[in-house]
Amino acid sequence: MKFFVDTAEIDAIAELNDLGMVDGVTTNPSLIMKSGRDILEVTREICDLVDGPVSAEVVATEAADMIAEGRKLAAIAENIAVKVPLTWDGLKTCKVLSDEGRMVNVTLCFSANQALLAAKAGATFISPFIGRLDDINLDGMELIEDIRTIYDNYGFDTQILAASIRTVNHVTESARIGADVITAPPNVIKALANHPLTDKGLEAFMADWAKTGQKIL
């Protein structure tokens, strides 16, 4: 499974990238706002930092403007994946940009039917939002499973990018079902290393080591 980090904070990306935990990055208008940076400037810096796809989202709502914005974003670097919403205009944009050989991430997916349309439009990635479905008492993981089945049935190349990841269990279940990619905030990715028995075991080892009075360095 590929790990994309869902942030526009350079320091957080760099820390995870140094550990080999970053296969790509996803951004959106909300994350750009939180960074306080110019979208073109920060996106270019992220693209220079990581080798994998970097999703940069259009903000227009009409297809013609989306396509123009997408081309401008794609010109930033070769590893840009233009991010478009799963609307009819977004699908039109996806078709045009994917036919031009550009990576496209179709986002805000909440149904298997939407995912099917995105794949037929040539999307590189489809981003189903797990956490937001959970918020309204629907099973986000069930959507991942449905998309996996449909894509495998027909041999679609579109990669399932599990998004709106809120917990480490979302990561585990996405991996179990067979999502190609997860995108998660840095704190969720780092939390994957945590387990209370690891902490308890380390505490016991350190207590026993202290009793020996020895040093390694």
Catalytic residue annotation: 83
Give the CA distances from residue 65 to residues 18, 55, 117, 169, in Å, rounded to whole numbers and listed in that order. 37, 18, 21, 38
Rounded-to-integer distance, Cα 6 and Cα 31, Å: 8
Rounded-to-integer distance, Cα 65 and Cα 70, Å: 8
Tracing tokens 């579109």 back to the chain, one arrives at: 158
DSSP 55-75: EEE----SHHHHHHHHHHHHT
DSSP structure class, residue 163: B
Cβ 163 vs Cβ 141: under 8 Å: no
